């Protein structure tokens, strides 16, 4: 076997490097009518898994279109910059946030006006 082919074959069958640690979880509770924590503080360029948990008996959402648009989504989905969470359920989104200050609110009727809004600070 030629040395170059041997090297390619050896690299192909080499043991994989150390696995990347999972992104740290940031729990975000949705309740009637607010978010916890508030505000939400993240580090720019650092992967994070945001775990949105609806602890109330009614549906809520976490709408932050500019935040999600400027972040790189690694796992999970948003619909037009929004995560809908059914009562007593959780949804996760793993992302790499971009530096900035972003508003977030619940898009359900009158929830924002009743205090269900926050700010995301990515430093």
Q: What is the CA radius of gyration of the chain?
A: 20
Whole-angstrom distance, CA of residue 78 vs CA of residue 62: 10
Whole-prediction pTM: 0.83
What per-residue confidence (pLDDT) applies to 2? Answer: 55
For residue 116, tell me if it sits in a domain.
yes
What per-residue confidence (pLDDT) applies to 20? Answer: 66
CATH (domain of 65): 2.60.40.420
Whole-angstrom distance, CA of residue 25 vs CA of residue 21: 12
Whole-angstrom distance, CA of residue 108 vs CA of residue 96: 26
- Among 99, 90, 92, 91, smallest CA distance to 42 is for 99
**Number of domains forming the structure of the chain:** 1
All residue ranges of the chain with pLDDT < 70 are 1-20
Specify whether the CB–CB gap between 81 and 62 falls below 8 A: no
For residue 13, tell me if it sits in a domain.
no
Q: Which residues constitute the domain of residue 31?
A: 22-122
């Amino acid at each position: 076997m030629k040395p170059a082919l041997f090297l390619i074959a050896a690299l192909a069958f080499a043991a994989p490097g150390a696995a990347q640690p999972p992104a740290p979880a940031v729990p975000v509770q949705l309740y009637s009518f607010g978010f916890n924590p508030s505000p939400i503080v993240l580090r720019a360029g650092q992967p994070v898994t945001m775990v949105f948990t609806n602890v109330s008996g009614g549906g809520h959402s976490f709408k932050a279109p500019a935040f999600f648009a400027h972040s790189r989504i690694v796992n999970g989905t948003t619909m037009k910059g929004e995560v809908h969470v059914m009562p007593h359920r959780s949804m996760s989104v793993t992302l790499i946030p971009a530096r900035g200050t972003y508003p977030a609110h619940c898009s359900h009727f009158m929830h924002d006006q009743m205090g269900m809004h926050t700010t995301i600070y990515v430093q």
